[in-house]
C-alpha cells in the first residue's frame, strides 16, 4: 500500500469495538455467548455507529485460557457455532458497513494441536523443531530460569523426547519456534485462510514474545521487584520479551497481509511508550496500529494526561497513525476506576484525540468490574498466581442487556456472573438520552461527521487549573476540546467564539459560546470555532 493509500486507509477514521463472543450474547441457553447470538445484536452495533468489530478467539480450543489455547486455527469451536455461522456474521457486519477483525495468536498453540502432538513424539519427526525444545540443565532441571506468566517455570518436561518445551503462558500452551521457516509458512497459511474468507484484518496477540534468546540466557532479577511484585515478574524478561528478532516476525506477518487490499494489522505490544515506535517499522512496515493503553496507565489528572499524550505522540514515527485503547479483555474496567462522571470525560477524550479509538464491549455504557465469587473463578491467572489482584474475570463477565435475572444475555446460567446492579444495562441507557451510551453514540457520529476530528492535526494547549484541553485543526477548521477533570467548577481560559458541538451535560449543545468560559464539575465540551 502506497503512502497516499495509507493516508486514506479506513482504519484512520474507524472506531473499533472489541467483542468477546463468549460474553456478548447467548442464543441457545447454554450460558456461553456464540456467533448466532452476535448475529442477533448487529443492529445494536449499527445503531451505536462503530466501524469495525474485533473478535477474541472463536477457534477450536480446550478453552483453558479464554480460547487463546488453540487446537485448530482454521476451525470454529462448536461452542460458538459453525463456519456457516461465522460467514453469516461476516456478511451481516459487512452489510451494515462494519469491518471484521480476528485475533491472530502466532506465539503458541494448545498442547492438543496436531502440530504439537506430532512434535512431542520424537526428536526426528517432521515437526520436531516446530516448538521451542531444549535439553535439561546440568542438574536435570529446566534449561534456565525463564518463568511462565502464569507462575512457575516456563519449561515443562516431555518424557517421550527427554527434553523440555517452553511455554510463555500455561503448560498447555507450548510456544512455537518462529526461527523455523516451516512454522512461519504454516502461520502465513492460517492468515490466508481467513483473509480469503473476507476478514478485514488481525489483532496480533503477544507479538513481542515471538522470539526468545537463542542462547537461552538467564533473565536477571528485576531490581525494582518487591514483596508486592507477582512471582512471574520477579525477573526482568530481557531474554524472553521484545527481542530484536521479533520485529522480523512482525514484518513477515505484515508482508502476508499486504498481499491483500485494505487489511489492518494491529497488535498487542509490550514495553513503555518510548518503545512503541519500533512496532510501526521503518523501511520494512510492521503494524499499522500497535495498540496503545497509555490512557489506562496514567494518573487521571490534567498534568499527567498532558504528559502522557505528548510522550505518546512524540514516540510515533513519521507516517505512523496513533490509536488509543480504553478497555480490553485483560484490562480492568475503566468505569470502576473513574466513576460515572469522569467516564463521560474519558468518552469525549477518546473520541476527539487524533488517532483510532478502541473500546471493549460494555465500555460504552459504563460497565464496571463484576464481583466473582471464589467458586466461580475461571481465569487461570488468578488460580495460579493468587493474591495479587490479577483476576481478569471481572472485566470478562457477560454484558447486561436488560434488567432481568439473566440480563438478556442468556436464558440459562451465565458462564460468569452478571453485574449485580441491574439498572446498569444497555436497554435502560438506550431509553435515556442523557446516558453514557447515548453520549458515545453522539460522539461517534460527530467523529464521522467532522473531518477535523477524524483526520485533523492535534494542537496541544497548556493544561492548567485541572483543565486538559487541546485543538484539532484541518485546513481552516478548528475544534477545541476542554475537559474539567475535577469535581469543582473551573475557568477554561480560551479565546474566541464558536458553537458547542457536544457537552457531557448536553444542555450546552448548539449554544453559541465565547471564551473564556466556566466549566461545571466533571464537564467536557467540544467547540467548533467560527472562521
In whole angstroms, what is the distance from residue 381 CA to residue 485 CA?
34
In whole angstroms, what is the distance from residue 244 CA to residue 83 CA?
37
Site of grid cell 510515533: 316
Site of grid cell 473513574: 338
Spatial CB neighbours of 181, under 8 Å, sequence gap ≥ 6: none
Query: Is 268 noted as a catalytic residue in this protein?
Result: yes
Composition of the chain by helix, strand, coil, percent to 5? 30, 20, 50
Q: Is 156 exposed, middle or buried (0-12, 13-18, 19+ CB in 10 A)?
A: middle
Q: If you write DSSP's letter for every residue of 220-258 in order, what string do you get? A: PB-TT--TTS-GGGSB--TTTSS-HHHHHHHHHHHHHHT
Spatial CB neighbours of 246, under 8 Å, sequence gap ≥ 6: 207, 208, 209, 210, 211
Which H helix or E strand runs over 289?
Answer: strand 289-290
CA triple 252-258-260, angle to 5 deg: 135
In whole angstroms, what is the distance from residue 269 CA to residue 273 CA?
10
| Annotated catalytic residue, options 63, 65, 111, 205 | 205
Q: Is 147 exposed, middle or buried (0-12, 13-18, 19+ CB in 10 A)?
A: buried
| Annotated catalytic residue, options 18, 268, 379, 450 | 268
Contact 373, 348 (CB under 8 A): no
In whole angstroms, what is the distance from residue 486 CA to residue 524 CA?
11
Residue 460, φ and ψ in degrees, nearest 5 = -70, 150
Query: Is 205 noted as a catalytic residue in this protein?
Result: yes
Residues marked as catalytic: 205, 268
Amino acid at each position: 500500500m502506497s503512502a497516499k493509500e495509507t493516508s486514506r486507509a479506513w482504519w484512520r477514521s474507524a472506531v473499533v469495538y472489541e467483542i468477546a463472543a463468549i460474553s456478548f450474547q447467548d442464543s441457545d441457553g447454554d450460558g456461553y455467548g456464540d456467533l448466532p447470538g452476535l448475529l442477533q445484536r448487529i443492529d445494536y452495533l449499527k445503531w451505536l455507529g462503530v466501524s469495525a468489530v474485533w473478535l477474541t478467539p472463536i477457534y477450536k480450543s480446550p478453552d483453558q485460557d479464554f480460547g487463546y489455547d488453540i487446537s485448530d486455527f482454521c476451525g470454529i469451536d462448536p461452542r460458538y457455532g459453525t463456519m456457516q455461522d461465522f460467514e453469516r456474521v461476516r456478511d451481516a457486519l459487512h452489510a451494515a458497513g462494519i469491518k471484521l477483525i480476528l485475533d491472530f495468536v502466532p506465539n503458541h498453540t494448545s498442547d492438543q494441536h496436531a502440530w504439537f502432538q506430532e512434535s512431542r513424539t520424537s526428536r526426528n519427526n517432521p515437526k520436531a523443531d516446530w516448538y521451542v525444545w531444549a535439553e535439561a540443565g546440568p542438574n536435570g532441571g529446566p534449561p534456565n530460569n525463564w518463568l511462565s506468566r502464569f507462575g512457575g517455570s516456563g519449561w515443562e518436561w516431555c518424557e517421550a523426547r527427554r527434553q523440555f518445551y517452553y511455554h510463555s503462558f500455561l503448560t498447555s500452551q507450548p510456544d512455537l519456534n518462529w526461527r523455523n521457516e516451516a512454522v512461519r509458512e504454516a502461520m502465513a497459511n492460517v492468515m490466508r485462510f481467513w483473509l480469503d474468507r473476507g476478514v478485514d484484518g488481525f489483532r496480533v496477540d503477544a507479538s513481542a514474545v515471538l522470539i526468545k534468546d537463542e542462547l537461552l540466557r538467564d533473565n536477571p532479577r528485576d531490581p525494582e521487584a518487591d514483596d508486592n511484585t507477582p512471582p512471574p515478574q520477579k525477573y526482568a524478561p530481557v531474554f524472553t520479551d521484545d527481542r530484536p528478532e521479533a520485529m522480523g516476525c512482525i514484518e513477515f506477518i505484515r508482508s502476508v497481509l499486504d498481499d491483500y487490499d485494505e487489511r489492518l494489522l494491529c497488535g498487542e505490544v509490550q514495553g513503555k511508550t518510548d518503545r512503541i515506535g519500533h512496532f510501526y517499522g521503518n523501511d520494512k512496515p510492521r503494524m499499522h496500529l500497535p495498540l496503545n493503553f497509555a490512557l489506562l496507565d496514567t494518573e487521571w489528572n490534567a498534568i499527567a494526561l498532558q504528559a502522557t499524550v505528548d510522550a505518546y505522540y512524540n514516540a510515533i514515527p513519521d507516517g505512523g497513525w496513533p490509536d488509543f485503547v480504553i478497555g480490553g479483555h485483560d484490562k480492568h474496567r475503566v468505569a470502576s476506576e473513574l466513576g460515572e462522571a469522569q467516564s463521560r470525560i474519558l468518552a469525549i477524550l477518546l473520541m476527539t484525540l487524533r488517532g483510532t479509538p478502541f473500546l471493549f464491549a460494555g465500555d460504552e455504557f459504563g460497565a464496571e468490574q463484576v464481583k466473582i465469587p471464589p467458586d466461580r473463578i475461571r481465569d487461570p491467572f488468578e488460580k495460579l498466581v493468587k493474591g495479587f489482584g490479577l483476576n481478569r474475570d471481572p472485566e470478562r463477565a457477560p454484558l447486561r442487556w436488560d434488567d432481568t435475572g439473566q440480563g438478556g444475555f442468556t436464558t440459562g446460567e451465565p458462564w460468569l456472573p452478571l453485574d449485580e446492579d441491574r439498572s446498569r444495562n444497555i436497554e435502560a441507557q438506550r431509553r435515556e438520552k442523557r446516558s453514557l451510551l447515548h453520549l458515545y453514540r453522539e460522539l461517534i457520529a460527530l467523529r464521522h461527521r467532522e473531518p477535523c476530528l477524524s483526520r485533523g492535526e492535534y494542537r496541544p494547549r497548556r493544561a492548567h487549573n485541572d483543565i486538559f484541553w487541546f485543538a484539532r485543526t484541518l485546513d481552516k477548521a478548528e475544534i477545541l476540546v476542554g475537559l474539567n477533570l475535577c469535581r469543582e467548577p473551573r475557568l477554561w481560559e480560551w479565546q474566541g467564539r464558536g458553537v458547542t458541538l457536544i457537552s457531557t451535560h448536553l444542555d450546552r449543545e448548539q449554544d453559541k459560546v465565547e471564551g473564556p468560559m466556566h466549566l461545571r464539575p466533571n464537564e467536557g465540551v467540544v467547540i467548533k470555532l467560527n472562521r
